[in-house]
Amino acid sequence: MVFAMTLRISGVLADAIRRAGEAAYPAECCGVLGGRVSGLKEVLQIAPMVNRRTDDPRRYLISPDDLLRITLELRDAELEVLGYYHSHPDQPAEPSEFDSEHAWPWYSYMIVRVNEGRSADLTSWVLEEDCAGMRQETLQVSTEV
Ligand SMILES: [Zn+2]
């Protein structure tokens, strides 16, 4: 089974993720990608989440309670959780070993690199079928409003 698809997001939401990464710098920001699937995954809403991991600024953790709450909120809006986003302060926009180990199949994992407080690359990743690692997926940033 192939999990990789195209992830589409509006320029406005992509910018919001960049700003969140810059605001959280030098810690990591994190949040949920909500949207719909129709041939591709389309992000229609992003939900900033509280990073519950406080012992290490280079990690993020979304609490199960927070995740349940946002999942129900999205469901009310007839949207589903498509994946997650987080920032990499002064690290490449590539999944860390920790990210790969904690990823679930199918979900998209967007990563924004934040260099000295300014956002740089924005990428999206999915877990390989054999769960051995992550593969970059096509990220389509649309300019239409
Ligand atoms: Zn990471």
Of 15, 52, 8, 10, nearest to 30 by C-alpha is: 52
Rounded distance from Cα 59 to ligand 1 centre (Å): 7
Of 42, 7, 9, 34, nearest to 144 by C-alpha is: 9
Rounded distance from Cα 112 to ligand 1 centre (Å): 9
Rounded distance from Cα 77 to ligand 1 centre (Å): 28
Question: How many Å apart are CA 143 and CA 145, to the nearest integer?
Answer: 6
Rounded distance from Cα 78 to ligand 1 centre (Å): 28
Residue 145 pLDDT class (50, 70, 90 cuts): low
Rounded distance from Cα 27 to ligand 1 centre (Å): 11
Percentage, residues of the chain above pLDDT 70:
96
Backbone angles phi, psi at 127, to 5 degrees: -70, 140
Rounded distance from Cα 85 to ligand 1 centre (Å): 9
Instruction: State whether CATH 3.40.50.1100 applies to domain 6-142.
Output: no
Q: Where is average pLDDT lowest: 6-15, 72-81, 110-119, 128-137?
A: 128-137
Question: How many Å apart are CA 134 and CA 56, to the nearest integer?
Answer: 23
Rounded distance from Cα 39 to ligand 1 centre (Å): 27
pLDDT tens readout for residues 6-53: 999 999 999 999 999 999 999 999 999 999 998 899 999 999 999 998
Rounded distance from Cα 70 to ligand 1 centre (Å): 21
